[in-house]
Each structure stands twice: as C-alpha cells, then as structure tokens.
Amino acid sequence: MKNKKILIIVGARPNFMKAAPLIKEFKKLTTFKPILIHTGQHYDNEMSDAFFKDLDLPSPDVYLGVGSGTHAEQTGKIMIEFEQVCFETKPDLVIVVGDVNSTVACALTAAKLSIPVAHVEAGLRSFDRTMPEEINRVLTDQISNYLFTTCEDANKNLMREGIPKNRTFFVGNVMIDTLVAHVKLAKKSRILEKLKLEEDRRLKRYAVLTLHRPSNVDNRPILEGILRALNKISEKIPIIFPAHPRTISRIKNFKLDDMVFFLDSYSLNNLREKIILMPPLGYLDFLCLMSNATLVLTDSGGIQEETTILGNPCLTLRNNTERPITVKEGTNIIVGSDPKKIIKTAVHVIENGVQRKKIPKYWDGKAAERIVKIIAKLS
C-alpha cells in the first residue's frame, strides 16, 4: 500500500527540531505521505518562520492557529481543531513529539478516534507532577501505540508504569539528529561577529542563558534571586541572554529591569560584563552562540541534551531533570534556583571547566532513520 498518511505534529520551537529529521526520512520513501500539522501553540510567526527556514522544514500543510491561553483552553482548542483535521485527512498514523500541550492534545484526539499514535521522546520523567510537561509526558505515553525512547532510563520508566515492552523502541535522540545535521552550517552564523565576540576568544569568553519555566520566572523572589546570582557571575564573565517573551514580560512586570542590560539590536559596541538581554534567536544563530560558550545556564530540557553533545558545561536552573542521562553521561550539573549554589558552581566551572564523560548510546544523528524503519516494518 502506497502513500500511507502520517500526521506529524508540531506546536512549539522544540518540536520543530524533533520533527525536521523525521520528515526528511519519511520523504525518502514512496510508501508514506508525511503531513505536517502546526497547531500554532507557539504563535510568534516571525520566530516560527525563522526556525522553519533554518531547519529547512517545509511550510505546514495545516496551521491550526490556536494561540495562547490557559493549559485547559489551549489543549481544548487544539483537540477541537485537530479532530476536524483527522476527519478530513483520515491518517494512518499520528506522530507526536516532546511534551508540550500540542503533544498530549493531538495524542488524545487520535486515540479517541482509534488512530494509532507514535510518541517520539517517550519515557522521560522528572517525577515532578507540578510541571505541566510531566503530566503531558505521562498521559501521552499511556495512550500511545508506539513509544520511541532516547535512553535506557526512559525504557525503565515505561516498564515501571506498565507499558508493554513490545510497544517500546529504543532509537536515540532526534534532537541530536538536527544538531549533527546543522552544527557545521551554524559555524557560518555571524552572531559572534555582531556581538563582538569574534576577536580573541581567550579574552572574549562568555556564558549563554535561557530562562522561561513558570517555576523560575512567575515567582518574583525566585526570579530576583536567580538574577542576583547571575549578576554576581557576570562580574567574571558576560552573560548573553536571548530571552523568551514571557520572561521579558515578567522581568518588566516585577520591576527587575535594572538587573539586566536590554539590547534592542543584535549589535554591541562594548561588551560589558553583565547580563545582556537580547531578542530571541533563530536555531542556527543560537547553536553557534551556544557552541562557543564557556558556560551555558538553562532551565530547558533540550539544551541539556545539546550541551552534552557539544561538550559545553551546562548548569540547569531546576531542582530536577527528566534527562538524568545528561548528568550521568554528559556535562550537565543540576543547581536549582538557590543563588549561593548557582554562584559557587558557576565560578568553579568557569575556572576549572567540567569533565566530559561520554556521548549517550544512539545519540549519533540516526534516530529518525531508526524510527522510520521501525514504522515501515510495523505498517
């Protein structure tokens, strides 16, 4: 049977990096027709367009345009809109990636319509049910027919939760597929030149920061404590902060503006030693910036994985991680939101670096290839 319809769901920027290699692999086979559905959960069209261009992703076949809202509103809107897409396209399989609201909404919709669901990046657990992403992960795994995992820890989590072993497939990390495919291209980015970071790297050392999780940015005392710690660190090394719009809004609303330097354009005349907040970056620019950083500070899961491959020291500003393999085998250190611990660990890493351990199994740029081969056999 030819042209089996595969709906591939994206909703937020991390999804784009995970979907790109899957679409590329499916297009190599005449037996499948991949259809890209963008829910519009991440509704910044300019930034979405930049990521699609950087990743050489085709324009979405369907754009739902659900926009923002509470978790319930957003999830409900996606389910209503996606159900109509399923009625119209009659897909043979729905593939969801990651752990955003689009992931669980489309998985649940498909499951209720008896359409097989594949979850890419299944089995990750932080064991923190206060994180909306944790709820999304657990529920999506329970209703998926095929679960593609990035590491042995994920396999064990699924086994403990009663997922039959024949539904679980250890394939590696599609996020790393995208990194491997683009790391050389990212070297051509001019972001270092624009930020005056090109000349004499020994003197122009810098850190990169990302911060967006509600637990960090929606609580004024916690956000202020993190920013105070970062200001102390910036006395030793400047911190480049491509900021999430949500975080910018919180910094302004909490009147913490004086703790960062707002960079309105991408050009700096003098790189001052402080937290330099700038607009969000496209994938290639950010990959270039991160690849050359002395230190990365983040509360993002994907960046923990990327720094593990790049070999950059990574400090995770959370009390837990759903990616413990990045601590055991990578360059990730969990520091939470305690200012003293953040400062102490960052200073140690800046002065001494971090021991690079090893690259996790199957994080080799071929995860999507494995996934598509398995789906072809199961079809």
Q: What is the pLDDT of residue 264?
A: 66
User: 362: helix, coil or strand?
Assistant: coil
Work out the number of other CB atoms within 10 angstroms of the CB of residue 26. 22
Q: Report the distance separating Cα 178 and Cα 239, nearest Å.
A: 26
Architecture of 188-352 per CATH?
Answer: 3-Layer(aba) Sandwich (3.40)
| Residue 261, Ramachandran bin (φ over 0: left; ψ between -120 and 50: alpha; else beta) | beta
Half-sphere exposure of 109 toward its Cβ, with a 13 Å CA cutoff? 27
- Written as one string, the DSSP assignment of 228-283 is HHHHHHTTTS-EEEE--HHHHHHHHHTT-GGGSEE-SSS--SS--SSEEEE----H
Range among 190-199, 257-266, 301-310 with highest mean pLDDT value: 301-310
Q: What is the pLDDT of residue 262?
A: 85
Q: What is the pLDDT of residue 67?
A: 87
* Under 8 Å between Cβ of 157 and 125: yes
Burial label for 286, CB within 10 Å (0-12, 13-18, 19+), is buried
| 298-352 residue pLDDT tens | 999 999 999 999 999 999 999 999 999 999 999 999 999 999 999 999 999 999 9
Average confidence score pLDDT of the chain:
93
Q: Report the distance separating Cα 79 and Cα 108, nearest Å.
A: 8
| Comma-separated ranges of CATH 3.40.50.2000 domains in the chain | 4-173+363-378, 188-352
CA end-to-end distance (rounded Å), the chain: 9
> 33 Cβ partners below 8 Å, 6+ apart?
3, 4, 5, 6
Q: Residue 244's pLDDT band (boundaries 50, 70, 90)?
A: confident
Residues with catalytic annotation? 212
pLDDT at 288 over 80: yes
pLDDT at 49 over 80: no
Per the listing, tokens 């069209």 go with 45
Q: Residue 204's pLDDT band (boundaries 50, 70, 90)?
A: low
What mean pLDDT is predicted for residues 124-136? Answer: 96
pLDDT at 143 over 80: yes
Q: Residue 289's pLDDT band (boundaries 50, 70, 90)?
A: very high
Nearest to 173 by CA among 189, 154, 191: 154
Architecture of 4-173+363-378 per CATH?
Answer: 3-Layer(aba) Sandwich (3.40)
> 27 Cβ partners below 8 Å, 6+ apart?
34
